Structure 1
Amino acid sequence: MVSLLTLPSTNHLGLYRHGQFRRSISFVVRSEHLPSTSASPCKDGPGRRELLALGVAVVPWLFMSQHAATFAAETKKGFLPVTDKKDGYTFVYPFGWQEVVVEGQDKVFKDVIEPLESVSVNIIPTAKQDIRDFGPPQEVGETLIRKVLASPTQKTKLIEASEHDVEGKAYYTFEFLAQAPNYTRHALTTVCIGNGRFYTVTTGANERRWEKMKDRLKTVVDSFQIFNV
């Protein structure tokens, strides 16, 4: 197995990066806005209208993939889509979360009232072609959680590790706990490789709110997909 210890260390909010624990981070909160619906027309008229009715931007590349188009059409109300055409990924996040700028993270959305409720995307270059090149899900999950996704002061526990394929691309998903002195975060992470990059998307909530939030958080990680750029 190829060791993951050489990966740059960066947790879900950029608090632990390159072996240093950052005790303070400056957040820049951007005003929330609805996604644009000024996409190119497509032949699937009824499908497009359904997407617009859900407040989902009709992005042309989605219709190149039947799976992605189906998922977008079935996106639940209460979520907003994100598509990064430059870095090649898409996902949804709960309506009401706001985008913040965090050093070391490609994209972060969070609840301003419950700061542990957030989703972040991290991207680093890699020469690997498949996430399975790093080992099986359990082994990769334990290493990432211990060395990358949590700070050195937190106690961690991997609850579940699984693998699934989307259009021939392998994804690993981990459910884990990260316990700090004054709180415990229940988190979900999905990782995959494509476009010469190692993608990590992490979401979670305070353990006391897990039962209330878990379905929404699972929708977030399940929605994460990469595409060729």
Structure 2
Amino acid sequence: MPRGSIAALVGVNGSGKSTLFKALMGFVRVGHGEIAILGQPVNRALRQNLVAYVPQSEEVDWSFPVLVEDVVMMGRYGHMGWLRRAKPRDREIVDTALARVGMSEYRHRQIGELSGGQKKRVFLARAIAQQGQVILLDEPFTGVDVQTEARIISLLRELRDEGCTMLVSTHNLGSVSEFCDYTVMVKGTVLASGPTETTFTAENLERAFSGVLRHVALTGGEAQVITDDERPFISRRAAGGPR
């Protein structure tokens, strides 16, 4: 995918989305082939702080006592020395990141005390503070309200305009066409990939979500509804068309 773009990674649970993210972060070994990020092997790209990661909520121990500002400061660790002593520049970057996600007033709160949407915004702030060229977001819209989702999407657009490249795993099909330039559909392997306007189609959704896709006829179109989807994708297929 080109630099300065957003790609959606779409597929059912167990299709390999999170495994791909773990491989991109060097958490699991790749059995065959190679992965390159910005033209460099994964380990080298990670050492150079080129890649930031926003994990799923299930991967975080929310009972661990840590302040919001300390979580965001973790994004600066790769830029510090061995003693990890924050410099004024690091604190300035953390302040800016918190402000961009609207979480400045929560900086002295324990991360575990926040709502689901607030936690997502804190980890996005950590990714922003890292100042990586690539951000991987694993299900950033799960458990957030519509207002928080809209805020995150707006911020992702800003980051794209600043030259950041993002890969976003999501179940919220209704938002994909709103902000993603490219779409990759997976089901154990890559089923389809390319520009969203030509890839994110009802036919490809059938292939990626067969068995869990539900069709609901609407006036002037169809809703492609996944059993655990929060925002169904509305195709522009004429009413009375193929079911």
Same fold by TM (over 0.5)? no
Structure with a larger share of its residues in helix: 2
Larger Rg: 2
Which structure has greater strand proportion? 1
